[in-house]
A and B are shown apart, each in its own frame.
Chain A
Amino acid sequence: MPHAPDEGFRAKGATPPSTDAFETEVLSLVPSLRRYSRSLAKSDTDGEDLLQDCVEKVLVRRSQWRGINLRAWAFTIMTNLYRDRHRRTSQHPSVELNDTLGLTAEDASGDPLEKTRLQRALNALTADHRTVLMLVVVEGYGYQDVADMLSIPIGTVMSRLSRARRQMAAQLAQNNIVTLRRPK
C-alpha cells in the first residue's frame, strides 16, 4: 500500500512512532508548509522564519499530537503562530517596498508588477481573512476542514472567505489590474 502521509500512522498501534519516523513525516510536509507560510508572509524572509518556527514547535510538541492528520495539526500550529505575530506587528504597521518585491525573486516568469500588486492586496487583508483564503484557495482545504482547523463555525469560514475575496477584488481593481482570463 502506498504510504499516505496525511493519515495518522499511529492510529493502528499503541506504539508511538520512532523519532526518525516522525521527523521523516514532518519533512514530507515541509513543501506544503513552506507554501502556506509564504502565502501568509510579507516576504520570503518572513515566510522562512514562520516555517522554521512552525517546524520547531511541531517537533517540540510532538507528544501532544494525537496521532491523526499531522498535516492539519501542523497547519493549525502555523496559523496560530502567524496570528500571534500579526497581532504584534500590526501595532507598528510598516510598508516595506523591498518586501513586497520579494515575491518576484522566486519566480522570474510572471509579471513582476502584477505580483507586487497581488502581494500588496494580500498584505491589506486581516490575518483571519488571509488564513481562510489561503487554506481554501492555495492549500485546497474544504470549508468544514478549515472550520475544524481554526475551531470556528463554518458560517464564519464562509463570511471570511467572502470578505477576503471581495476586498482583494476591490483592491486589485483599484490598482488597475485588468483580468484577461475568462472563467472556464
Chain B
Amino acid sequence: MTDERPPVTEDDLHAYVDGFLDEDRRREVEAWLKDHPKEAADVAAWQAQAADLKAAFSPYARLDEADNAMVHPAPSPTTNTPWRKAAILAASLVLFLSGAAVGIYADRTLGYSVSVETASALESLPAQSKSAFLIYASEKRHPVEVGADQQEHLVTWLGKRLDYKLVAPDLRSQGYSLVGGRLVPVNGKAGAMLMYENAAGQRLTMLLGKNPENAETSFRFESAGPLETFYWIDGSIGYAVTGELGRAELQAIAEECYRQFES
C-alpha cells in the first residue's frame, strides 16, 4: 500500500491498547490493523489481558479499617490530640462523663454514656471522611457513581445498603448543590458518600456509616491542613462532612444537614 501515513510501529500498537494515541493516529492504527490480522490478534490478546488485570486488581483499591493505624503509627503521648486521648480512655472502660472529659465528650444529653464500640467507630469517622474527600472530590470524570439527576434512585439505593431512610440534604440555601453519591466502605461495612458542589466548583463530601449501636453525640470537628471535618453520631448512623473551607461555613452546613436528617 502506498500512502503518506507514518508506518505503524509496535510502540503504536501498545499506545493503541493503552489509549495513549490521539484520535487521528488511533484511526490510522485501527485501519492498519484491518490489513494485518496477525498484529490484530496480538492487540486483541493484549486488550483482553489488560481488562483481566484491571478486573483482578481494582477491588484492592480500598481503605481497610487498620489503614489509619498503619499511617499513624503509635502516637507518642505528647502528640495525642484531645479526642484521641478520649478514645484511648474510652477503649479501656465504658466511659461515663466525668469532670475531666467534659468538653471532649460533652454530649447533647449530659450524663450520656459512650461505649467502647461507639467511641472507636467515632474515632475513625473523620479520618475516613477525609480520605473520601481527598480521593473523590478531586476526581474530574467519575467523582460519583450515581449523579444527582437520578437523586431518587441514589437515595433509595444507598439507603437500602445502609438499612436507613436516607435523605440527601438540600444545601441550596448554603450555595451547594448535589453532585451525586457512591457506595463506600465505612468501618468495614457499606456506607454512603454524598458530594456537593458550589457555583465556584468547590466540593464537599458527606460520609454516612452504620454505627454499631444507637448513640447520640455532639458535633466534633477536626482540622488537617486545609481540610475541616465535622462529625457526629445520631442514632444508628455516624455522619461526617469534610470540605476545604472555613470552619464557620462548614459548621453551618453540618448543622443544616443535621436539621434535615432529623425530620
A interface list, Cβ under 8 A from B: 1-6, 9, 17-21, 23-28, 30-32, 34-35, 38-39, 47, 52, 55-56, 59, 103, 106-107, 110, 114-115, 118-119, 133-134, 136-138, 142-143, 158, 161-162, 165-166, 168-169, 172-173, 179, 181-184
Interface residue count on the B side (C-beta < 8 Å): 53
Most A C-beta atoms less than 10 A away, residue of B53, B60, B61, B63: B60
| Contact yes or no, A31 B135, CB < 8 A | yes
Cα distance, A55 to B63, chains bound together (Å): 13
| Contact yes or no, A30 B63, CB < 8 A | yes
B interface list, Cβ under 8 A from A: 10-11, 14-15, 18, 20, 40, 42-64, 67-68, 70-73, 79, 127, 130-131, 133-135, 137-138, 201-203, 224-227, 244
| Contact yes or no, A21 B63, CB < 8 A | no
List 25 contacting pairs A-B, 8 Å CB cutoff, sorted by A.
A2-B202, A3-B134, A3-B138, A5-B134, A6-B138, A9-B225, A17-B225, A18-B225, A24-B131, A27-B68, A27-B134, A30-B71, A38-B60, A56-B73, A59-B71, A114-B52, A118-B53, A136-B18, A158-B14, A162-B10, A168-B49, A169-B49, A179-B48, A181-B47, A182-B44
| Contact yes or no, A2 B244, CB < 8 A | yes
**Residue of A1, A59, A158, A183 touching B47 (CB-CB under 8 A):** A183
**Residue of A31, A39, A114, A165 touching B63 (CB-CB under 8 A):** A31
Q: Min CB distance, A18 to chain B, in Å?
A: 7
Q: A3-B244, A34-B62 given as contacts; is B53 within 8 A of A28 (CB)?
A: no
Query: With a CB–CB cut-off of 8 A, which chain A residues contact B135?
Result: 5, 28, 31
Query: With a CB–CB cut-off of 8 A, which chain B residues contact A19?
Result: 79
Looking at chain B's contact residues, the main secondary structure is: helix
Cα distance, A1 to B46, chains bound together (Å): 38
Most A C-beta atoms less than 10 A away, residue of B43, B55, B224: B224
| Contact yes or no, B62 A24, CB < 8 A | no
| Contact yes or no, B137 A142, CB < 8 A | no
| Contact yes or no, B225 A24, CB < 8 A | yes
| Contact yes or no, B56 A28, CB < 8 A | no
| Contact yes or no, B244 A165, CB < 8 A | no
CB-nearest residue of chain A relative to B67? A30
| Contact yes or no, A110 B61, CB < 8 A | no
Looking at chain A's contact residues, the main secondary structure is: helix
Query: With a CB–CB cut-off of 8 A, which chain A residues contact B72?
Result: 23
CB-nearest residue of chain B relative to A31? B61
Q: A9-B225, A24-B227 given as contacts; is B138 within 8 A of A118 (CB)?
A: no
Query: With a CB–CB cut-off of 8 A, which chain B residues contact A59?
Result: 71, 73
Q: Min CB distance, A138 to chain B, in Å?
A: 5
Query: With a CB–CB cut-off of 8 A, which chain B residues contact A119?
Result: 56
Q: Min CB distance, B246 to chain A, in Å?
A: 14
**Residue of A21, A39, A55, A183 touching B225 (CB-CB under 8 A):** A21
Cα distance, A165 to B39, chains bound together (Å): 13
Query: With a CB–CB cut-off of 8 A, which chain B residues contact A1?
Result: 201-202, 244
Q: A2-B137, A118-B53 given as contacts; is B224 within 8 A of A106 (CB)?
A: no
| Contact yes or no, B48 A181, CB < 8 A | yes
Query: With a CB–CB cut-off of 8 A, which chain A residues contact B73?
Result: 56, 59
Query: With a CB–CB cut-off of 8 A, which chain A residues contact B63?
Result: 27, 30-31
Q: Give me the 9 closest cross-chain CB pairs, A-B, nearest first.
A: A21-B225, A28-B134, A35-B61, A31-B61, A179-B48, A38-B60, A35-B60, A169-B45, A39-B57
Query: With a CB–CB cut-off of 8 A, which chain B residues contact A28?
Result: 130-131, 134-135
Cα distance, A110 to B134, chains bound together (Å): 30
| Contact yes or no, A31 B62, CB < 8 A | yes
Query: With a CB–CB cut-off of 8 A, which chain A residues contact B42?
Result: 165-166, 169
Given A1-B201, A5-B135, A9-B225, 6 more A-B residue pairs with CB atoms under 8 Å apart are A24-B130, A27-B130, A30-B63, A31-B61, A38-B57, A181-B48
